[in-house]
Amino acid sequence: MARDSLIRHYAYLVRVVVGRLVPGGKSRLDVDDLVGSGIAGLIRAVDTYDPTREVKFETYATANIRGAVLEAIRNEDFLPRSIRDRLRAFDRASLATEARIGRPATDTELADELGVSEEHVGRLRIAAVASKVGSLDDTTNSSEGDSLRFGDMVADPSVDLDRELQDNEVREALIAALSHLPERERVVVGLYYKENITFLEIGKVLGISESRAYQLHGQALSRLRQRFRPMLMAA
């Protein structure tokens, strides 16, 4: 079975694991974000599974998914639900305004839509980007070379992160945060998100194992979330 087909086939395991860890969706975190983390764990399982070992793939994948979701809970649980609700309202307003006017909304138009200041909209943009780092808008390469979006695998579309990054203030804030990462973590993030290559390929480039590349990626995302935390709280 092709890599992307395998991922799609076992995507249901992610919902099963998230459902067990967060019964009834009762969590301070957005369940969709947990699903995104679980999909990342599934992809890692597909890429690292050794069929010569006497372990069923479903068992191996479930363990990887569970680990990824638990890590997401540990890393992101600092964000109050009230702020997540505010960010979702911002996303909805952005999409609704764009649909109405036929183009991306300016800060002025979003401020009018939400009844807040333009400065507050700027903070919301930055917070929205920070909260989406490592979520459903991440992509991976399929075996045919196509870009495969995590959110599409579970039929749960999210806001286009690239559209948010078009805002200069947001881009500058993200670049500044990336510049504070240790060199290896910065390289891993750049290769994974900008060059869109797999952790296996990143490992070969850096002369490290695939699992180490995955670990560096997780460390980088944790640092970025912590650095963006004041912006999230200010939103």
- Average pLDDT, integer, range 148-174: 45
> Would the pLDDT of 50 be above 80?
yes
* End-to-end CA separation in angstroms for the chain: 45
Q: What is the pLDDT of residue 233?
A: 55
Q: What is the pLDDT of residue 4?
A: 78
* Closest listed residue to residue 185, CA positions, set 207, 209, 218, 225: 218
Q: What is the pLDDT of residue 145?
A: 46
Residue 56 to residue 151: CA distance in whole angstroms = 26
Element (H, E) at 148: strand 147-149
Least confident of 53-62, 147-156, 159-168: 147-156
Domain limits of the chain? Answer: 3-234
> Would the pLDDT of 130 be above 80?
no
- Average pLDDT, integer, range 151-166: 39
| pTM beyond cutoff 0.85 | no
Q: What is the pLDDT of residue 114?
A: 86
Answer left, alpha or beta for residue 140, where phi above 0 means left and psi between -120 and 50 means alpha.
beta
> Would the pLDDT of 14 be above 60?
yes
Residues 17, 66 contacting (CB under 8 angstroms)? yes
Q: How many CA atoms lie within 13 A of 21 on its CB side?
A: 27
How confident is residue 135, by pLDDT bands cut at 50, 70 and 90? very low
pLDDT > 90 in the chain, percent: 1
- Average pLDDT, integer, range 119-137: 62
